[in-house]
Amino acid sequence: MAKIIVFANQKGGVGKTTTAVNLGAYLAEAGKRVLLVDFDPQANASSSVGAKKDQPGIYEAMTGAADPSSVIQDCPLAPNLSIIASSINLTGATVELVDQADREFFLKRVLERVSGPFDFVFIDCPPSLGILTLNGLAAADSVIIPLQCEYLALEGLSLLLQTISRVQKGVNPRLQVGGILFTMYDSRTRLAQEVVQEVTGYFKEKVFRTIIPRNVRLGEAPSFARPINRYDPECIGAKSYQKLAEEVLANG
């Protein structure tokens, strides 16, 4: 059965998409079958792997306009990695779902139809705690929280953890916190070191040992529609995501 992991943090630009794409790419390289679900109307994950965005995607699968299995695309440059693309249409879902009684379960129902052949399903959420992220949390087995190593990054964390706890008590008791992942770490700044120390001291084994450093190559790869292992596999960012993939596999 597929392990469903959601990448969530309502703070923007913390590395949700970069992590979903590159962790997914390394798990795929290790022979796992990975389905990446772009669940953000910005469609950054779709662009990052070169998915076609002019055809039905996750929004159409959720609304019944397309058969869920028909919206899965193979990523041209990454064998074993598939994607359900997003588009700006998904913005409509945030409005349309609000009045539905079962509004948290639309994504879960799509994934029940398509997750069968995969080892991992990754859900890349938008930067908000709205209905899309709630659908992501409701559908997942575990949540990975990318955290940028800076002071303000911590401010939103307690709200996110409260939301996760509410989901666990309500719509998804199965949901576990898979881990907090430090991203864009700059070892030259004392603040980054302090954030890592403080958060690790508090959350202990819930923190991934692998820390993702700030690395320009990670920022460049999406504009070439490639995951980092197909752009610059020797750079420090690539090595870090490879290590993270090993850690995720070791954690079971």
Ligand X SMILES: Nc1ncnc2c1ncn2[C@@H]1O[C@H](COP(=O)(O)OP(=O)(O)OP(=O)(O)O)[C@@H](O)[C@H]1O
Residue 64 binding ligand X, by CB under 6 A: no
For ligand X, which residue of 18, 80, 89, 115 counts as binding (CB under 6 A)? 18
Q: Which is nearer to Mg ion, 25 or 204 (CB)?
A: 25
Residue 44 binding ligand X, by CB under 6 A: yes
Give min distance, CB of 102 to ligand X, in A. Answer: 26
Structural tokens at position 72: 């899965």
**Site for Mg ion, rule CB under 5 A:** 16-17, 44
Question: In 3-state terms, what secondary structure has residue 115?
Answer: coil
Closest CA to 35 of 27, 48, 142, 43: 27
Residues numbered 148-167 forming contacts with ligand X, rule: CB under 6 A: none
Q: Which is nearer to Mg ion, 9 or 80 (CB)?
A: 9
Residue 68: name its binding partner from ligand X, Mg ion, none (Cβ under 5 to 8 Å by kind).
Answer: none
Residue 41: name its binding partner from ligand X, Mg ion, none (Cβ under 5 to 8 Å by kind).
Answer: none
Structural tokens at position 240: 């870090």
The C-alpha angle with vertex 48 and arms to 18 and 207, in degrees rounded to 5, equals 15
The C-alpha angle with vertex 133 and arms to 246 and 225, in degrees rounded to 5, equals 55
> Going by C-beta distance under 8 Å and a sequence separation of 6 or more, which residues neighbour residue 104?
131, 134, 135, 138, 171
Look at the block and give the residue holding tokens 């913005």: 91
Give min distance, CB of 64 to ligand X, in A. Answer: 26
Question: What span, in angstroms and rounded, lies between the C-alpha atoms of 246 and 251?
Answer: 9
Residue 89: name its binding partner from Mg ion, ligand X, none (Cβ under 5 to 8 Å by kind).
Answer: none
Q: Which stretch binds ligand X (CB under 6 A): 23-31, 136-144, 198-206, 211-219?
A: 211-219
Question: What span, in angstroms and rounded, lies between the C-alpha atoms of 150 and 196?
Answer: 9
Residue 22: name its binding partner from Mg ion, ligand X, none (Cβ under 5 to 8 Å by kind).
Answer: none
**DSSP β-bridge partners for residue 180:** 145, 207
Residue 181: name its binding partner from Mg ion, ligand X, none (Cβ under 5 to 8 Å by kind).
Answer: none
Structural tokens at position 138: 């409701």
Residues at the contact surface with ligand X, assessed by CB under 6 A: 12-18, 40, 42, 44, 126-127, 183-184, 212, 214-215, 218-219, 222, 237
